[in-house]
Amino acid sequence: GENVEQHPSTLSVQEGDSAVIKCTYSDSASNYFPWYKQELGKGPQLIIDIRSNVGEKKDQRIAVTLNKTAKHFSLHITETQPEDSAVYFCAAPNRDDKIIFGKGTRLHILP
């Protein structure tokens, strides 16, 4: 079945620096890759997604890149701010069209 590996599990960056979270997937048929941000006590919030017909997508300080050949995709957050502190999940669909989440990355923005 589909397997989504996410790294690192914890990431601390200085405020203003960039953060990068990486995911790999196993099913070459996967074609939709969302990223979710989950703050403490809240549900996951979709922050950006990418489909397999593009290699990069950007929304203000957040960008996602996709390498279909290597089967990996990454979340890039630039000019990090305290409110970026949260748990981030990548995801990909399996062949049954069910979403499979990575294990999550806890991002700490240091003052």
Partner 1 sequence: DTEVTQTPKHLVMGMTNKKSLKCEQHMGHRAMYWYKQKAKKPPELMFVYSYEKLSINESVPSRFSPECPNSSLLNLHLHALQPEDSALYLCASSQEGRGGNTEAFFGQGTRLTVV
Q: Interface with partner 1 by CB under 8 A: which residues? A: 31-32, 34, 36, 41-46, 49, 89, 92-94, 96-104
Residue 22: how many CB atoms within 10 A of its CB?
17
Please report how close the Cβ of residue 78 comes to partner 1 at its closest, in angstroms. 23
The one-letter amino acid at 9: S
Nearest residue (CB) to partner 1, 78 versus 106: 106
Distance CA 9, CA 66 (A): 20
Bridge-based pairing state of the strands 19-25 and 62-67: unpaired
Nearest residue (CB) to partner 1, 15 versus 32: 32
Q: Which residues pair with 24 in a beta bridge?
A: 5, 72
User: Which one-letter DSSP state was computed for residue 17?
Assistant: S
User: Which one-letter DSSP state was computed for residue 52?
Assistant: T
Please report how close the Cβ of residue 79 comes to partner 1 at its closest, in angstroms. 25
Nearest residue (CB) to partner 1, 78 versus 101: 101
Distance CA 10, CA 59 (A): 23
Please report how close the Cβ of residue 99 comes to partner 1 at its closest, in angstroms. 5
Please report how close the Cβ of residue 47 comes to partner 1 at its closest, in angstroms. 11
Nearest residue (CB) to partner 1, 63 versus 102: 102
